[in-house]
Amino acid sequence: MTPAAKHPASTPRAVRTPKAKQQRDADFASAAETRDLLKSSWSARSARLAADDMLSTDEAAALAGTSRVTINAWIAKGRCIGLSQAVRGFRVPSWQFEPDFWPLVPKLAEALGTTEGWALLSFLETPHGALGGTTPRAAIEQGRSERVLELAGSEGF
């Protein structure tokens, strides 16, 4: 019998990674993947900020009959959806000032547990299986506000 056979600890063997560590590694993106995600996210966000339905806070203030300072306060409180830009300030979706949406915005922010504009917009503009593949925004426009609020409450951040 060789000395290595007598002492299994000295026998070369495959290094096993514990299952818990393998799972943790699968849960996270690499630095390169993260850079790619951020780059594509920036392109998508820039396009969304430039969309025809977006207003500056000054334009939103004129539409709502108030001041830019009030719009910024509403954004901070979750009363208004404000999308942060790379430069100072916010852009806001004009449709949130429609009668179907205006009373729901603070309720959605509360139900989702966030006032962050991108998170609110993402929830509203992402198709949802519980709504038959419709976006929550479209469901609100179709008169299904209560169902959207129920979903927001179950998906809060």
pLDDT at 149: 96
pLDDT at 53: 95
Task: Map 11-69 to HEC letters.
Answer: CCCCCCCCHHHHHHHHHCCCHHHHHHHHHHHHHHHHHHHCCCCEEEHHHHHHHHCCCHH
Q: State the pTM of this model.
A: 0.72
pLDDT at 37: 60
pLDDT at 42: 77
pLDDT at 16: 54
Low-confidence ranges of the chain (pLDDT < 70): 1-26, 33-40, 156-157
